Amino acid sequence: MNSLADELVKGEKGDAQGILAPAYDNHEVFNVDSNSGSWMDGIKRFLQTEELPTDKREARKL
């Protein structure tokens, strides 16, 4: 049932790092900046400047 634990106990690999290391070497990084007009823009602006919008309705949404 727990094959990873079984392999570690038996010592079949001899090197635990080979079992525990991720199976991939190429990491991908994605840009998560929002485009203008996104629903996150007001929240992002507030977190960066700590200023609420002048419109009371918009400020209340935050």
Domain residue limits, the chain: 3-61
Closest by CA position to 43, among listed 27, 61, 25 = 61
Q: How far is CA 52 from CA 22, 38, 39, in A?
A: 44, 17, 15
pLDDT of 19 reads 59
pLDDT of 48 reads 93
pLDDT of 23 reads 63
Give every residue of the chain whose pLDDT is below 70, as ranges.
1, 8, 11-25, 33-36
Specify the amino acid at residue 57. Answer: R
pLDDT of 7 reads 72
In whole angstroms, what is the distance from residue 57 CA to residue 20 CA?
51
Query: What tokens does 39 get?
Result: 């629903």
Single pTM value for the model: 0.41
